[in-house]
A and B are shown apart, each in its own frame.
Chain A
Amino acid sequence: MKIRIALIFFFTSIAVTVLALVGKKYNPENEFVGSWEEIDWNIKEAEKSVVTNLGLVATSTEEDRDSIRFHTAKSWKFRPGGVLILQDQHEEKELEWRLKGRGHILEITDGMVTEFYDINLLSDEKIELNYIAPSFVKDYARLVIKRSS
């Protein structure tokens, strides 16, 4: 009898969790939607060539022209339906964005190259993203964006 009660409790708790999630309609994707302003791109001794070429590209020095590739968009516009607009003063590029896993991974792709970012912080005001580099890269690249008005 006790086991039956425990089983009923267990399966009820699953159903309640599902219903609570569906009912609350909270979704980390909605937290992303909006306009964000880039405030920091910190590549700490990472193998720079792994930060691939997506969106707007900037190179710091002449010799690194082919290897250093990272986003320098002033504005990141996450639109519903997976559309990401990277906007600078003169340029604009449309990419796709998705959340993966349990909502802890941001995937950005231009159809050719796909990048993954671990979402380190997701708040109303700020998002911190850690670039997920191949395992042979010891250090990291971090992007911080804040919500623009």
Chain B
Amino acid sequence: MLRKYSNTRSLGDNIKLGVLTAIVAGMVNVASFMLFYSFSSNVTGYFAILASEVSQNNYYQIAIVLLWIMSFFLGSFISNFIVIHFNRRNTYLAHAMPIMLELLCILGVAIYGTSFYKGTLFETELMLMILLLSMGLQNGLTASISNFAVKTTHLTGATTDLAILFSMFTHKKYRNNKDIKDKAKLLISIFSSYLLGAFIAAFLYQSLKFNVFFIVVAFLTVVIFYDLSKIYKFNRSLKVYKLKKQEAEQQNPDNIRPNPKQVAIS
């Protein structure tokens, strides 16, 4: 899910990443709307709000909306910065680091919200800023490592893409095109997961309030540790293979490594 980069990723890798991160985005967006009366996983609406606040000379609101937009921007910036600068050293770590940062942001909001939140406007604005930063981190990462195939924090582009794909299915020429079918599968899974996350948050909000974010953290932990477990299993298998090979060499070195010259003479 996180180990592979760009064109080396399979459809399965993208679907797994898309599903889990879309659930997270749906949950965060709905929870933040219900708690703070503002969305946190997309910024398109904030550009419209910004224009509206500018026209009304509401300088405080202009500054706040600008900060929120910039937070999302900063999150995406940091994600791609980490990916392109650390990808060659350790691909998994470079891809997991933005998710770890996102997890820290959401965990911070969850802990502060459950233990210290007094409901002041400053706290609300700050927590929204942190949530927008975390969603920027997530969107930047998924878009960056999937060659812009996976974007999970907002569905405007995905709706357009899916509509285009569906219209393509009406033409005989494209109906059985594997690439188009794969893309449709990916987009449909992102849509349904986002919606599922939104429903989960909406249902759980009444009883859990800020604790909803702990569930989000659990999902992000799965994203991080899923690949880590794969790497661990792979390294373990490799170690076992090397040990077995070494033992075999020690027991019967001639069979394992024949002398090329002798082979040639015989």
Q: Are A100 and B37 in contact (CB under 8 A)?
A: yes
- Within the assembled complex, what's the spacing in Å between the Cα atoms of A42 and B37? 24
Q: Are A21 and B121 in contact (CB under 8 A)?
A: no
Partner of A102, one of B64, B70, B119: B64
Residues of B close to A10: CB separation below 8 A: 70
B residues 5-50 with Cβ under 8 Å of A?
36-38, 49
Q: Which residue of A lies closest to B123 (CB)?
A: A98
Name B's A-contacting residues (CB within 8 A): 36-38, 49, 60-61, 63-68, 70, 74, 118-122, 124-125
B38, B61, B70, B119 pick with most chain A CB within 10 angstroms: B119
Partner of A17, one of B37, B67, B118, B119: B67
* Main SS at interface, chain B: helix
Residues of A close to B125: CB separation below 8 A: 102-103
Partner of A103, one of B60, B70, B74: B60
Q: Which residue of B lies closest to A24 (CB)?
A: B60
Partner of B120, one of A11, A29, A96, A116: A29
Residues of B close to A34: CB separation below 8 A: none
Residues of A close to B64: CB separation below 8 A: 21, 102-103
Contact with B along A104-124 (1 / 0, CB 8 A): 110100000000100000000
Q: Are B38 and A100 in contact (CB under 8 A)?
A: yes
- Within the assembled complex, what's the spacing in Å between the Cα atoms of A93 and B57? 36
Q: Are B124 and A101 in contact (CB under 8 A)?
A: yes
Known A-B contacts A14-B74, A20-B63, A104-B61; A27 and B37 likewise in contact (beta carbons under 8 Å):
no
